[in-house]
Structure 1
Amino acid sequence: MFWWCNEVRPGVSVAFTDTGAGNLALHVGDNPAEVLARRVRVEQAAGLEGGKFQYMNQVHGNTVEFIDIHRAGPTADAMVSAVTVSNTAAQPLAVMVADCVPVVFVGNGADNEPVIAVAHAGRPGVASAVVPATVEEMRKHGAVDIRAWLGPSICGSCYEVPAELRDEVAALVPATWSATSWGTPSLDLPAGVRAQLEAMDVTVEYSGECTLEHNSLFSYRRDSRTGRFAGLVWTHD
């Protein structure tokens, strides 16, 4: 069910699912009823009593949405939530991937209440700075001492791309420049995200394994008809 799961501060947990949880995406041709049933099982495993994770319609952009109440999936590639003026708890958040970098954030807000966020950092998202945009949105909502967890994603030794594409992305985010283990051009998206977070003074607490190298994780490069696993963050008693 969970590839990695931890209570990262009192009352806040972060997790990344694996293939044991099944495909959690509605856009890959899977049976919608079965996908929704899997999402419920993940929510139950996380201990969400009657709550739901907020998913989004991810489009490889850099739009960040603030979520104060669960709603039909917004079109965005990052979401932020926090305690609202009506004292509603932060909305549990989810980001789906199958090689892109799922980034989960936790910061301290007013009265030490958590400000939480997720970001979908694929190649276009890294190049267009979706991760820095997410940090900026968290800070607009009072977050300080922000920490980040990078879930499993394809590594620089495996993510082969044309040389022109590597140069294009590395011109924007130099840390992404890489080569595969067999010597061809590649991009290291996790390294790029870590560099962006370091520049924003955000501490990286965890950086996950390579999706292509582990069959217990979905990988689009391994199989373009694959499902999606999720990065999750939620608050609890």
Structure 2
Amino acid sequence: MITTVALGDGVGAAFTGRAGGVSTAPYESLNLGGAAGDDSAAVQDNRRRVAARLGVDPGRTVYMRQVHGAAVAFVTSPDLPGPVDAIVTTVPGLALAVLVADCAPVLLADPVAGIVGAAHSGRPGTAAGVVPALVKSMCERGADPARMTAAIGPAACGRCYEVPETMRDEVTAVVPGAYSITSKGTPGLDIRAGIVEQLAAGGVTGVRVDPRCTIEDPGLFSYRRDGRTGRFAGYVWLKGDA
């Protein structure tokens, strides 16, 4: 299943699910992550299937080497110089992808300026400010936060994302909105709420949040639930050809 998201005229955006691919257990079936241990041919087949569904060129899709940091790269081709957790482009037809399995995939666009971005924002990245760094990078290239739209995809929810109290304290010291108590009454983190807070602080208020929890929803990959598993993705791109 692929869920499309409206981020403005001339912008394509979507989040994938778990079904519709060729990978076998424990990656079944639409695993898009190339570093999770799955057969590389299956991953490439899955990526081609998604690209065909979205109408993008699989050879012009940028997949990051994500490291839970806050580095942002401006890209004009699928080649990246090193690991980053956020990417920006102004090139039509170049799709940006973010891979996740509990972390939040964040997609941003300013359709008027012709700029899109994607970020991988888990616990460390959210605390490090990867999404604010992405907003800043887009603004440096002409984006206006008041025009920007954002989509935060499925992620571990605050009811399920249990962490030690000290870890919650460390994160919420810099991102207060991420504070949560789980359904068991234990310390938790609501990463998506924290990202919404960060976006609002940066002037981005046009935010769509996918409410699905990766831990609760078997139609999504979840590392915290399953351990060895695949990755689903968020994609964003400017429509048209370069």
Taking structure 2 as the reference length, the TM-score comes to 0.90
Aligned 8 A contact 1:170 1:177 in 2: yes
What is the percentage of aligned positions where both structures have the same residue? 46
Hey, what's the Cα distance between the residues in 2 that align with 1:187 and 1:104? 21
What corresponds to 1:86 in structure 2?
none
| Structure 1 position 72, deviation (Å) | 5.0
Pick from 185, 188, 201 the counterpart of residue 183 of structure 1. 185
Tell me whether 1:102 sits opposite 2:105 in the alignment. yes
| Structure 1 position 52, deviation (Å) | 2.7
Aligned 8 A contact 2:73 2:87 in 1: yes
Change (3 A) 1:73 1:102: farther
| Structure 1 position 224, deviation (Å) | 1.0
Q: What letter is aligned with 2:159?
A: S
Aligned 8 A contact 2:48 2:58 in 1: no
Runs of 5+ consecutive residues of structure 2 not aligned to the other structure: 21-29
What corresponds to 1:143 in structure 2?
143
Hey, what's the Cα distance between the residues in 1 that align with 2:81 and 2:16? 19
Q: What letter is aligned with 1:16?
A: F
Q: What letter is aligned with 1:197?
A: L
Aligned 8 A contact 2:109 2:116 in 1: yes
- CA RMSD, 1 decimal: 1.5
Q: What letter is aligned with 2:18?
A: T
What corresponds to 1:124 in structure 2?
124
What stretches of structure 1 move > 3 A for 4+ residues in a row?
A: none
Runs of 5+ consecutive residues of structure 1 not aligned to the other structure: 84-88
| Structure 1 position 92, deviation (Å) | 0.9
**More divergent stretch after superposition (65-74 vs 23-32):** 65-74
Q: What letter is aligned with 2:132?
A: P
What corresponds to 2:71 in structure 1?
63
Change (3 A) 1:192 1:29: same
Aligned 8 A contact 1:26 1:35 in 2: yes
Aligned 8 A contact 1:99 1:212 in 2: yes
* Count of aligned pairs: 228
Aligned 8 A contact 1:57 1:73 in 2: no
Hey, what's the Cα distance between the residues in 1 that align with 2:221 and 2:83? 22
Hey, what's the Cα distance between the residues in 1 that align with 2:191 and 2:202? 17
